[in-house]
Amino acid sequence: MEVAIPESSFAPGYNRLGWRGKRKFATLHGDKKYQYLILHVDPGNPESTKGKTIQKEIQEILKFDIKEMRSFSLKKHEVYIPLECIDSKKNFELLKCFIKKLYEVAYRKVER
């Protein structure tokens, strides 16, 4: 993994380094209004709807509704997880397992 921190805001990005170059996997966004983790499900493909499907799945696991919590428009190829939803060890462990599974699925396909 490579961490990239932009100069203009606190939003470190996490890129997976591989033999095909780097691919953005996650961004930790923390400004005054909203703090959340963004998982880039299908980076470079803004027309993909994979993020919407996975967004629903993670909302069921962590029991939240992103539309009730956030007022900005969501990209269809990304998954948004508000940091206030990770408020217990149980939710943290659920999220950790979910991210690990998502990472393995996403990058198993890339390496083939």
Q: Please tell me the predicted confidence (pLDDT) of residue 35.
A: 84
Instruction: Output the average pLDDT for the chain.
Output: 78
pTM (2 d.p.): 0.76
Architecture of domain 2-111 in this structure: Alpha-Beta Complex (3.90)
Enter the tokens of residue 8.
Answer: 């203009």
Residue of 112 and 100 predicted with greater confidence: 100
Task: Report which of residues 82 and 109 the model is more confident about.
Answer: 82
**Cα 83 to Cα 63: distance, rounded to the nearest angstrom:** 13
User: In 1-112, where do the E strands start and end?
Assistant: 2-4, 13-18, 21-30, 35-40, 78-82
74 secondary structure, DSSP code = P
Say whether pLDDT at 36 is over 90: no
Measured CA distances, 95 to 6, 8, 25, 48 (Å): 25, 28, 15, 22
* pLDDT tens string 4-24: 555 555 555 545 444 455 677
Pairing of strands 78-82, 13-18: unpaired
For the residues of 22-48, what is the DSSP string, one character each?
A: EEEEEEEEE-SS-EEEEEESSTT-TT-
- Distances, alpha carbon 86 to alpha carbons 2, 5, 81, 112, in Å: 23, 22, 8, 33
62-92: pLDDT as tens digits: 999 998 988 888 889 889 999 899 989 999 9
